[in-house]
Each structure stands twice: as structure tokens, then as C-alpha cells.
Amino acid sequence: MRDITHFIDGATVAGTSGRFGEVFNPNTGEVQARVALASAAEVDAAVASAARAQAAWGAVNPQRRARVMFEFKRLVEARMDELAELLSSEHGKVLADSRGDIQRGLEVIEFACGIPHALKGEFTDGAGPGIDVYSMRQPLGVAAGITPFNFPGMIPMWMFGVAIACGNTFVLKPSEKDPSLPVRLAELMMEAGAPAGVLNVVHGDKTAVDALLDHPGVAAISFVGSSDIAQYVYSRGAAAGKRVQAMGGAKNHGLILPDADLDQAVKDIMGAAYGSAGERCMALPVVVPVGERTAEAVREKVLAELETLTVGISTDPAAQYGPVVTAAHKRRVEDYIQLGVDEGAELVADGRGFSLQGFENGFFIGPTLFDHVKPQMRTYQEEIFGPVLQIVRAETFEEAVALPSAHQYGNGVSIFTRDGRAAREFANKVNVGMVGINVPIPVPLAYHTFGGWKRSAFGDANQHGMDGVRFYTKVKTVTARWPEGAVEDSAFVIPTMR
């Protein structure tokens, strides 16, 4: 059986803890590899490697660091098919979706290629008599990232791309469910010209996470995962004196107004709800049609689209989505489907029991649809993270806007309408961090920032864009005087610029 190793100080390193996790092929249900689960000592070795490399890497001028990012981007693009196949083999998402995963990560690498401009400070000439004031952004030191299974390419690149370009070194703890791609990315970063120790990868579970959160050599932690763990990471990391950004779960809503282009809206929602088997924090699992006529039309059109939806293995070019990541996750999603039935929602389409000929042991769930879901139901309040779409009917625009605004999660939300005034009012009033107007998955471009509100995010800084630069740097402000003439007397009051 294949062993997946750590990547420390520029080389693959076998695990020494004696503990391993299983990595499945979600299409077949078979165990295809085992991954080493790091001990605290192995995490310490990765942090030590990053610390040794940081001073020299931080002293490299920004344009030379940017050239490494350019070369890394070129190498990843040249190997896109190979990397997408590796990703799909462990995650289960279809190849086109895996390419999109990697491409969205590369868009942040492209932003990082412009890091010399992003790191420019401020300068005031003649702030006082012979006095200039200027600021500079400097790296924090060693940063760490803890990333989820659902985007094993994109989210690591969101984190380490900006951090490394800013002059930090990085320790990545990816999901142990699909760990091979992050190791391959670290190898390509070294091939692109980054010195050994600039990017390290350690695999593991809570032992590795806690070791990073407590380690005195780690200055900043970035996390993406479930909200309960995000809150834990934020609290423990902040208590240890670290900078922390922790992105949590989501329950994104799509409001459909009566004037919307229903055909287009439903097609958009199908991809947003069922793409990647719903395993996205920016999936759109709740549709809120306004008015009974709209609700009935949406239901009819969704059912018609379900008839054309193809579920298949990750290498099937005709498949819209593939299996979920593990058997345990499949059971979790199916338990939520049963809970929805028990709570009294109408199960219109049941994806349980879906079987694919020749791949009967794969972790497949067919597209599932609930109607007449109520806000008090647990299946509405909690994140299911599977191919399950829920219809929550609203009588008025105000009632529809109140649903995502009151929900515990506030990651993303979308509205489908031809009414510019209604869309503008919605964007201004809704209590959610990222808004789409006739856009089903409102993930901002790399030079903007990604982040939700409420229990979808803990910490003050968002992912990537200028928020990412601010998160991975500290500002130093210098006040300089070059006096001429006679020596001045000492001042015993606070200086002013008079």
C-alpha cells in the first residue's frame, strides 16, 4: 500500500509517530493509501525548518519572491491534468471541478506575483521641521495553515501563496482525507526556486492541530473548516498570542423573486447546490422562492433538471458530480436526509440508495430535494455538506431577506431578480458577508477578499486580497529627523509636529 509522507525542509519525510490514517478512493470505496499522522515532535521539526529558512527568505527582495511565484504558477499550469487527476482520485470530485479547484488557487498565486506593489508602504515628506515619516510592511515569521478536504488545491494556495510572497515561511496541515496534492504543490514550490523550509507539509489530526496552535514559533494561523472547530482554533490560537483567521461553515441561501429569469436561476442553482456533491462552503443548498406561484414553478423546474443530472465516477466527462469523500461522510449526509423526513419536510427526491453499476461500493449519494422546509428544522439550521437542496418558501421579499440575515451562518447569499432597486436594497440590508446578484456562487476574485460573517468566520481578517497581505505582515512606522545647525535642548513633553 502506498504511504503518503510529510514534506519537511525540502524533502519527503516518513512518519515516525506510528499512527496512520486511511485514504480512500471514493469511486470504489477501497483504501488506496495510508497517510502518516504527525506527532508534536514532527510538527516541531517542520516549524524549526521554517524558522531556519525565514530570515534569509524574508530578506529576499519582493520582486525576486514574486519571480518564484511566477515560476510556481507556470509549473502548476504545465501539470494541471496530472494534479487534477491526483485530486479527484482522493476527493472524488469530477476532473473539470478539480481543474477549477486548482485554477482558483492559481488566481491567488497570480495576485501574489504582484506582491512588490502590495507591500509598498506610506511616506510623508516634511511631516515636521526636517522630519519624515514612513511605514513598511514586514513578514511575521512562521505562519501555518490548516485546510479542509473539500478544496485541497485552492485553499492551501490561498494561504501559502500570499504568506510566502510576503516573506514568511509556512507550515501546512492539510486534510488527512485527501493529502497527496498539497505535498505535490510543496515539491513544485521548491522546484520553482523557493529554498528548503519555505513551505513544509505535515499531515495529521487533532494532535498536529493542537501542536501548531500551541507552538511558540508559529506567529499566525489560518484555518478553514467547520464552525465549531473554527471557533476552537480561534480561541486556542489567540490565547497563545497568535494572529488567527478561522473560516467556518455556511448555509447559503438563494432568493428567487417573481420577476427573475426562472430558467436561468434554476440552472444556476442546480450547479451551485449539487456541484462537487455539495461539498463546498459556498454551495447554495437553500432556495427561497418568494410567493407560492414562484415556489411551484421553481419546484417543477428543479425536478425537470434533476432528470437530466448525471452522477458518475470522477473521471467520467459526462458526470456533473461524483461521490462524497468518505463512507463516514456519506452516512452523515444520509442521516440528515432521514432527519429532514422525521422533522416533517417533504422529501421530493431521495438520493439515498443511489448505486452506480460497477462501482456499487463507491460513496455516491443521488441528488436530493426537500420542499416545505421550515426555519426551526435542524436540517435548515445546520450545514449538511452534501447534494441536498432545500426549498424554504417565503410570502414576501422582507420575509425572504430575514431568513439568511437571522441564520447562524453568514458566508454567502444570492438573489435572482431583474429589479435593480430590490437587488440594491438586498445587498445593503442582508446580514451576510458575500453577496451575489444573479450570481449563484459569489466567491470574490483574488484581488478582493473572501470571508463571511457571524459563525462563518472568526477573526478580523479575510482570506487573500489585501486583507491577506495585512494578515501576513506587520507594519513598522519610522519617524526620521536629519537636523541642521545648533543642538536643540532636550524636550520633556510628548513630541508634536509643530
Quote the DSSP letter at residue 359: -
Give the rounded distance of the alpha carbon of 326 from its chain centre: 20
Task: Give the number of other Cβ atoms within 10 Å of residue 42's Cβ.
Answer: 23
Whether residue 113 lies in the annotated active site: no
- Active-site residue (options: 13, 201, 244, 281): 281
Q: How far apart are CA 221 and CA 493, in angstroms?
A: 40
Residue type, 128: G
Query: Are 51 and 221 in contact, with CB atoms under 8 Å apart?
Result: no
Q: How far apart are CA 472 and CA 220, in angstroms?
A: 7
The C-alpha angle 377, 383, 384, rounded to 5 degrees, equals 90
For residue 122, CA distances in Å to 128, 236, 463, 473, 498 come to 16, 34, 23, 15, 21
Quote the DSSP letter at residue 311: B
DSSP for 8-49 reads: ETTEEE---SS-EEEEEETTTTEEEEEEE---HHHHHHHHHH
Give the rounded distance of the alpha carbon of 163 from its chain centre: 15
- Nine cell digits for residue 252: 447559503
Query: Are 174 and 182 in contact, with CB atoms under 8 Å apart?
Result: yes
Catalytic residue IDs: 281
